[in-house]
Amino acid sequence: MSADLATTVHLASPEDTAALAQALAPLLQPGDVILLAGQIGAGKTHFARAVIQARLSAAGWQEDVPSPTFTIIQTYHDGAAEICHADLYRLTDADEVFELGLADAFHDAICLVEWPDRLGHHAPGNALRLSFAPGNAADARILTIESSSARWDRVIDRLTAPAIEGR
């Protein structure tokens, strides 16, 4: 995977999307950046919420996880790491990531970033890229998972081993 190959996973329902996010959550550590791409309604926020809720729940906390569409960034702390959930849809200039403190969070926090195209050249090269697209059924999604960083190879294998097509 570290050679910039892509893996595709078919998610039949929002529950499947949440299950994959919940499986990813305990594997994340500070400095990990997950870039969530896809059109409006593709499942980006649902996935991010499931990751955050899984981490908070593992620490014994329950918290509402709203979409950061209007606040742009919501932060959480699970006792082990700061978690930043960013929705960059409203950004007009890629340099705004510095004003928001997001560039610093890429090094110190677990970052879940919706609309990563708004980052421009500021997107971390070692990020895990998840691209959501509509599937054949109403709630189905096709998830493409990509990374050029060896950091994600074993994580991706653990997440997709039973679901990978073409293996």
Mean pLDDT of 67-75: 89
Task: Give dist(CA 47, CA 146) in Å, integer.
Answer: 16
| Max mean pLDDT range (4-13, 39-48, 148-157) | 39-48
Structure tokens at 108: 């110190």
The CA-atom distances, in angstroms, between 94 and each of 102, 126, 159 are 11, 18, 31
Whether residue 11 is contained in a domain is answered as no
Average pLDDT of the chain, as a whole number? 90
Question: Taking the CB of residue 125, how many other CB atoms lie within 10 A of it?
Answer: 8
Whether residue 130 is contained in a domain is answered as yes
How confident is the model at residue 95, as a pLDDT? 86
Spatial CA neighbour of 132 closest among 150, 116, 148, 110: 116
Whether residue 25 is contained in a domain is answered as yes
Which amino acid is located at 166 in the chain?
G
Whether residue 4 is contained in a domain is answered as no
Domain harbouring 78, CATH code: 3.40.50.300
**Cβ-contact 44, 36 below 8 angstroms:** yes
Whether residue 5 is contained in a domain is answered as no
**Cβ-contact 115, 87 below 8 angstroms:** yes
Given a cut of 50, is residue 165 above it in pLDDT? no
pLDDT-wise least confident of 3-12, 33-42, 44-53, 129-138? 3-12
What percent of the chain has a predicted confidence (pLDDT) above 90?
A: 65
- The residue that leads in pLDDT, 161 or 114, is 114
Structure tokens at 97: 């990531």
pLDDT tens-digit readout, 79-97: 999 999 999 999 888 888 8
How confident is the model at residue 162, as a pLDDT? 60
Whether residue 9 is contained in a domain is answered as no
**Cβ-contact 144, 59 below 8 angstroms:** no
Which residue range(s) make up the domain with 129? Answer: 19-160
Number of domains in the chain: 1
- The residue that leads in pLDDT, 5 or 69, is 69
Given a cut of 70, is residue 156 above it in pLDDT? yes
